[in-house]
C-alpha cells in the first residue's frame, strides 16, 4: 500500500495526486484535510485541520519547521491521526505533496517517504531536512529545469517526471476551423490571482482581432482539454499543473507568474523562458504589451513543450513509486533502505 499526503492549499496538489494515482498498481490511500474526491471516497483519510484554531506560539519551531505551533490542538490531532493511520495500515511507502511536517512524522514511524519537489528557493532549513530524509524526490519537471543547483545527494535519488498532467495520454483534440477572431484562453488556478480587476478586459481592448475567454475554478470549462487544444494562445498562471496541462496540449502560451511562497511561479517562468518554450512574464503585463506577446507566442508555437512533457509523466511516475514500494528500498541505485520486510 502507498499513502499519499495531499496539501489542502489550492487544487494543484490534489490534481497531481489524482493524475499519478490513476496509474498506480499498488493500492493507494489519500491523506488530507480536503474532502475525499469522487472515486476515492473509500480510500481517503480526512485529517483534522492544523490551522483550527488559528494562531499559536512559536509557529515554526524556531525556524526548524514550517508550521508547528506549540500547545495547538489542531496540530496535535492532525499528527495523531496521520501516525495512527500509518501504524494501522503499515504502508510500504508514503508520498508527501507537500508537507515537511508530514514527511517527518511518517519517517519517524519508520516508513520510507517520497517528497514531491517544488520549484523556487527551497534552501531553508525545513526544506533541506525534508529533501535530505526523503528516500526519493519526485520532480514534476524535466531534468535541468529547476535542479541546476541541487546537490548530488538529491539528484541521485530523484525521478524527473517532466510535466504531470491530468491530460497525459489523451490524443490532441482537433483545432477549431480557421477564420474569425483568434482565440486567447486565460487559465487561472485555485490559489487566486494577482491580476487586478479589469486586467483581462484591458488586455482584450488592446488586442482587436482576439477573442478572450477566462477559465478558473469559479468559471469552469465544459471541456478544458478541447479549449486548450483549440486556443491560438493560452495565457496561464505558472502553477505546475497548469503548465503541465498546457505542455500536454502543445499550446502556444504566455506563462504569467503569480506571487507564491519561495518564488515558485517566478522560477517556472524563468525556466520556460530559458528553455525557449513559451513567452513568460513575472507579473501581469501592461495592456500595451499584449499585442506583441500574443504575436510572439503564436510565432513560437507549442511544439517545444515536448521537452517539458512526454505525455507519459504521470504513468512513469506511478511506475517508479510502485517499484519503490515493491522493493522496500530507497531511490538511490544500489542502496538498501535497511527496512525490515
Query: Other C-beta atoms within 10 Å of 37: how many?
Result: 17
pLDDT digits (tens, 9 = 90+) for 8-42: 988 889 999 999 999 999 999 999 999 999 999 99
Q: What is the per-residue pLDDT across 113-147, written as a single tens digit (0 to 9) for each? A: 999 999 999 999 999 999 999 999 999 999 999 99
CA angle, 238 then 36 then 110, to 5°: 85
> Is it the case that residue 261 has pLDDT exceeding 90?
no
Angle between helices 240-249 and 12-21 (to 10 degrees): 50
Q: Does the residue 175 lie in any domain?
A: no
Owning domain of residue 219: 182-307
What is the mean predicted confidence (pLDDT) over 218-239? 96
How far CA 218 is from CA of 34, 279, 325, in Å, comes to: 18, 26, 38
Question: What is the rounded CA–CA span in Å between residue 129 and residue 1?
Answer: 25
Residue appearing with cell numbers 489542502 = 8
Residue 225 lies in a domain: yes
Q: In this model, does residue 334 exceed pLDDT 50?
A: no
- Residue 341, pLDDT > 80, answer no
Question: Does a structural domain hold residue 208?
Answer: yes
Averaged pLDDT of the chain: 92
Q: Is 62 exposed, middle or buried (0-12, 13-18, 19+ CB in 10 A)?
A: exposed
Q: Structure pTM? A: 0.91
Biggest alpha carbon distance in the chain? 66
Give percent of the chain above pLDDT 70.
Answer: 95
At residue 207 the predicted structure's pLDDT band, cuts being 50, 70 and 90, is very high
Is residue 144 located within the same domain as residue 232? no
Classify residue 117: in a domain, yes or no.
Answer: yes
159, pLDDT greater than 90: yes
| pLDDT at 162 (0 to 100) | 97
- DSSP H helical ranges for 134-175: 152-155
Cell numbers placing 114: 517520497
Whether residues 58 and 85 share a domain: the answer is yes
- CATH number of the domain at 151, please: 3.40.50.2000
Closest CA to 166 of 216, 104, 240: 240
Tell me the per-residue pLDDT of 59-85, one tens digit each, with 9 for 90 and over. 899 999 999 999 999 999 999 999 999
Q: What is the pLDDT of residue 331?
A: 44
- pLDDT at res. 203: 97
Provide the percentage of residues in the chain whose pLDDT is more than 90. Answer: 83
Enumerate the H helices of 206-260 as residue ranges.
Answer: 224-230, 240-249
Q: How far apart are CA 257 and CA 262, in angstroms?
A: 12
pLDDT confidence of residue 176: 63
| CA separation, residue 341 to residues 134, 141, 301, 329, 333 (Å) | 19, 32, 51, 10, 19
- Strand pairing partners for 216? 219
- For residue 339, the model assigns a pLDDT of 33
Does 171 map to a domain?
no
In a domain, 151, yes or no: yes
- pLDDT at 192 > cutoff 80: no
Report pLDDT for 177.
Answer: 65
> For 60, which DSSP code?
T
Mean pLDDT over 311-338 rounds to: 74
Give the chain's domain count. Answer: 2
260 and 208 within one domain: yes
- Is residue 136 domain-resident? yes
Are 125 and 138 part of one and the same domain? yes
The confidence score (pLDDT) of residue 336 equals 34
User: Same domain, yes or no, for 301 and 160?
Assistant: no
In degrees, rounded to 5, the angle at the alpha carbon of residue 253 between the alpha carbons of residues 248 and 255 is 100
| Average pLDDT rounded to a whole number, residues 101-117 | 98
320 lies in the same domain as 280: no
Please tell me whether residues 16 and 146 are part of one structural domain.
Answer: yes
CB 243 within 8 A of CB 272: yes
Grid cell for residue 81: 491521526
Are the C-beta atoms of residues 225 and 249 closer than 8 Å to each other? yes
- For the cut 80, the answer to whether the pLDDT of residue 175 exceeds it is no
Q: Are residues 96 and 208 part of one domain?
A: no
| Residue 85: inside a domain | yes
Specify whether 216 is located in the same domain as 158: no
Q: Specify whether the CB–CB gap between 204 and 210 falls below 8 A.
A: yes
Amino acid at each position: 500500500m502507498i499513502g499519499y499526503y495531499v496539501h489542502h492549499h489550492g487544487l494543484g496538489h490534489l490534481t497531481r495526486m489524482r493524475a499519478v494515482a490513476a496509474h498506480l498498481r499498488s493500492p493507494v490511500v489519500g491523506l488530507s484535510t480536503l474532502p475525499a474526491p469522487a472515486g476515492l471516497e473509500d480510500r481517503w483519510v480526512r485529517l483534522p485541520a492544523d490551522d483550527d484554531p488559528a494562531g499559536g506560539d512559536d509557529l515554526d519551531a524556531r525556524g526548524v519547521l514550517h508550521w508547528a505551533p506549540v500547545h495547538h490542538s489542531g496540530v496535535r490531532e492532525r499528527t495523531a491521526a496521520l501516525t495512527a493511520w500509518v501504524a494501522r495500515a503499515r504502508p510500504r511507502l508514503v508520498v508527501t505533496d507537500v508537507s515537511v511536517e508530514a514527511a517527518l512524522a511518517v519517517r519517524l514511524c519508520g516508513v520510507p517517504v517520497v517528497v514531491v519537489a517544488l520549484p523556487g528557493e527551497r534552501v531553508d532549513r525545513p526544506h533541506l531536512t525534508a529533501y535530505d530524509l526523503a528516500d526519493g524526490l519526485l520532480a514534476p519537471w524535466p531534468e535541468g529545469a529547476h535542479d541546476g543547483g541541487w546537490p548530488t545527494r538529491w539528484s541521485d535519488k530523484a525521478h524527473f517526471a517532466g510535466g504531470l498532467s491530468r491530460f497525459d495520454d489523451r490524443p490532441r483534440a482537433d483545432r477549431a476551423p480557421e477564420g474569425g477572431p483568434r482565440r486567447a484562453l486565460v487559465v487561472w488556478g485555485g490559489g487566486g490571482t494577482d491580476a487586478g480587476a479589469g486586467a483581462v478586459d484591458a488586455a482584450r481592448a488592446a488586442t482587436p482581432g482576439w477573442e478572450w475567454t477566462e477559465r478558473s475554478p469559479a468559471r469552469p470549462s465544459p471541456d478544458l482539454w478541447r479549449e486548450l487544444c483549440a486556443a491560438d494562445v493560452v495565457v496561464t498562471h505558472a502553477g505546475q499543473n497548469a503548465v503541465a496541462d498546457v505542455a500536454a496540449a502543445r499550446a502556444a502560451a504566455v506563462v504569467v507568474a503569480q506571487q507564491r511562497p519561495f518564488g515558485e511561479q517566478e522560477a517556472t517562468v524563468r525556466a520556460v523562458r530559458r528553455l525557449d518554450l513559451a513567452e513568460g512574464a513575472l507579473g501581469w503585463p501592461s495592456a500595451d504589451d499584449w499585442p506583441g506577446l500574443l504575436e510572439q507566442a503564436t510565432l513560437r508555437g507549442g511544439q517545444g513543450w515536448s521537452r517539458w512533457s512526454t505525455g507519459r509523466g504521470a504513468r512513469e511516475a506511478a511506475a517508479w513509486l510502485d517499484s519503490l514500494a515493491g522493493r522496500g528500498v530507497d531511490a538511490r541505485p544500489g542502496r538498501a533502505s535497511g527496512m525490515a520486510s
